[in-house]
Structure 1
Amino acid sequence: MKTTIIGSGSWGTALAQVLADNGQPVCLIGVDPAEIEDINTNHRNSKYFGDYAINPAIHATSDWASLADADVVLFAVPTQVIESVAAKAAEFVSKPVIWVNVSKGFNPGTDERMSEVIRRVVPKEKLSSVVSLIGPSHAEEVIERQLTSIDAVSLKEADAIAIQQLFSNGYLRIYTGTDEIGSELGAAIKNVMAIASGIIAGLGYKDNTRAALITRGLQEMIRFGTHFGGNPTTFIGLTGIGDLIVTCSSVNSRNFQAGYQIGKENDVTHFLKTNKKTTEGIRTAKVVHDIAARQHIDVPICEEVYQILYEGKEPRNCANDLMLRDLKKEF
């Protein structure tokens, strides 16, 4: 199976290397000529991985015509451009293919999950299925072939298995699942929790606080996700607690880094003025806030993150307010 990956950033490059290591044909589509040249000539992606040498079998291009003979099209781009990128990619595809998404969040304007966007945009005659390839994984570790496990989730189980077999090897183990709703919502909301985790670290709180945040954050993910039909069991798997642990605990997480800066300054103003990185949890916090308000879903941690990001509430006050909520049973 030939795979074309759209997006030559860190995650796209790491997944391209997985396929190249597996002896699978893979092509990377990028927009930065210097990045493409670096991959093809130097066998590096210096912007993201410094001097680390990547598999020389990886080929990068800016030519979308390389999609014409693809069996699998994988999106490794920010959520806000998935709709436009999927529409453009579909123009070049000539047969039903498996569309794989690795982004985590909601579509601007419609608040759809990524799989919903792709199914809406891609013509049915060019769509075998959508597979979400998500779970606890930092590109910086996958590129180094660190042992990693994630999920391939699809409503069409046969295609999830095909992606599982395509990407699995000695350092990347893929499990399959069919709970698209639970998996995608868990993977999105954990970015909000990662911002919260960074904030408490920036404020100076330590392990006890983070353990409480992760545990109570998981309850919010379950409460929100099951409200829309997600399976509760999904949230104790890789796309739930697994993803939550890694993003709430690692400095490699851009959402954690964002939260840390906000917490360190006890204010969001400077971060919002200077941030240039894609931080999916920022917009996700607003989407979750809006949906939770309409649907009357109790998500107090997400709500406090929203208050910090969008209402200018002082982070230390948010931490205090969470601790002083009405006392109750844990479950």
Structure 2
Amino acid sequence: MRASTGTRAAVLGAGSWGTTFAKVLADAGCTVLLHARRPELAHEIGETRENAEYLPGIRLPDRLRATADAAEALADAEIVVLAVPSQSLRDNLTEWAPLLPADAVLLSLMKGIELGSTKRMSQVIREVTGAGPDRVAALSGPNLAREIAEEQPAATVVACTDHDRAAQVQAACHTPYFRPYTNQDLVGCELGGAVKNVIALACGITEGMGFGDNTRASLITRGLAETARLGAALGAEPTTFAGLAGLGDLVATCSSPLSRNRTFGERLGRGMSVEEVQRSTRQVAEGVKSCRSVLDLARAHGVDMPLTEAVVRVCHDGVPVTQMVKEIMSREAKPE
């Protein structure tokens, strides 16, 4: 199933995932404009057909053009893809909102919960743009950018309360190597994407401390239980968490060395401080900031999330990783 060559898509954010998804859209037959905030990056992509900073060695298709002009990127776009760090979405979108085409689908690639407001990304998009729920969608699943850019087979979920809009995005990004499914449970898909980053930090921490597969499997399983509890409190469909946006994304992010959050946690587990790890990488590990907003959201709904709480204590309260493990393991024994 290929998109019509007339489908115009704008991707706002030229990091590794934004660039990769722009490539997917182009490979599916869309005409794509990728917005890079820095003119030199847009120029480099145009000249070399490569985003060497974020995706070295990956040739970008000719259907994909890059620009530093948001108005140019958004002109007549039918699908607008938002691929900026979740905590910067509101500021960026406030700037872009007057330029958005009136009926475009607004697709979130972001996996986080906004600090302070504890809003999911779709809620922020609707609040800033005034768009109806039928126009706002999210893409989630095991989406490690490098593997998809290399055209390794992967599946994902396009979530939107409006099935026709979800199907429109599905058609626009369906390629021989990238298989999108639709889902109308936007709440569940967004929560799965946000919480898995926090659990991946915990998995990385224990990996860095030298623990093995039993520990990781235990954290993944109990992390999925935390996510499902929060989802139930917010009205998500339980089956979503057994699917690609739940278990699929969680397994990939907790297991792969390509995962920014797992890698960040691994460095913490080896003894680096949060500040030292942040200085050592340009990539954004969404879970470091979002863990606080996820915990705030859970507390507001009376949901117990001990792993999330432990990650917050390490990342923001200065608790040593050894103390984190001790606290988790010494919790009161109870039925699963």
TM over 0.5: yes
Q: Provide the residue aligned with 1:53 in structure 2.
A: 59
Letter aligned with residue 191 of structure 1 = N
Correspondences of 1:206-221 after superposition (within 5 Å): 206-221=212-227
Q: Provide the residue aligned with 2:3 in structure 1.
A: none
Q: Provide the residue aligned with 2:4 in structure 1.
A: none
Identity of aligned residues (%): 36
Aligned mate of 1:34, from 30, 35, 40: 40
Q: In the aligned structure 2, how far is the partner of 1:268 from the partner of 1:25? A: 40
Correspondences of 1:177-256 after superposition (within 5 Å): 177-256=183-262
Q: In the aligned structure 2, how far is the partner of 1:310 from the partner of 1:231? A: 31
Question: Which stretches of structure 1, 4 residues or longer, exceed 2 Å deviation after superposition?
Answer: 84-90, 266-277, 288-296
Give how far 1:9 is off.
Answer: 1.4
Q: Specify whether residues 94 and 240 from structure 1 end up closer, same or farther in structure 2 by C-alpha distance, changes over 3 A only.
A: closer
Secondary structure at the counterpart of residue 48 of structure 1: coil
Deviations 1:99-156 (A, max 9, x none): 001001012331210001111111348x851010111111101111110101000111
Q: In the aligned structure 2, how far is the partner of 1:45 from the partner of 1:269? A: 27
Q: Provide the residue aligned with 2:113 in structure 1.
A: 106
Instruction: Determine whether 1:77 maps to 2:84.
Output: yes
Secondary structure at the counterpart of residue 149 of structure 1: strand
TM-score, with structure 2 as normaliser: 0.93
Correspondences of 1:63-142 after superposition (within 5 Å): 63-66=69-72, 67-124=74-131, 129-142=135-148
**CA RMSD of superposed structures (Å):** 1.7
Q: In the aligned structure 2, how far is the partner of 1:94 from the partner of 1:180? A: 22
CA contact (8 A) 2:35 2:70 kept: yes
Secondary structure at the counterpart of residue 25 of structure 2: helix
CA contact (8 A) 1:203 1:266 kept: no
Q: In the aligned structure 2, how far is the partner of 1:274 from the partner of 1:169? A: 35
Deviations 1:29-64 (A, max 9, x none): 111222212211111110012233221331000112
Deviations 1:197-249 (A, max 9, x none): 00000000011110111111110111111111111111001111111000000
Letter aligned with residue 55 of structure 1 = P
Instruction: Determine whether 1:15 maps to 2:21.
Output: yes
Q: In the aligned structure 1, how far is the partner of 2:296 from the partner of 2:130? A: 30
Q: In the aligned structure 1, how far is the partner of 2:148 from the partner of 2:272? A: 33
Question: Structure 2 stretches of 5 or more lacking a match?
Answer: 1-6
Q: In the aligned structure 2, how far is the partner of 1:219 from the partner of 1:323? A: 16
Q: Specify whether residues 94 and 312 from structure 1 end up closer, same or farther in structure 2 by C-alpha distance, changes over 3 A only.
A: closer
Secondary structure at the counterpart of residue 208 of structure 1: helix
CA contact (8 A) 2:116 2:293 kept: no
Give how far 1:272 is off.
Answer: 5.5
Q: In the aligned structure 2, how far is the partner of 1:207 from the partner of 1:291? A: 30
Q: In the aligned structure 1, how far is the partner of 2:92 from the partner of 2:44? A: 23
Give how far 1:11 is off.
Answer: 1.1
Q: In the aligned structure 1, how far is the partner of 2:183 from the partner of 2:156? A: 10
Comparing 299-308 with 190-199, which one deviates more in the overlay?
299-308
Q: Provide the residue aligned with 1:301 in structure 2.
A: 307
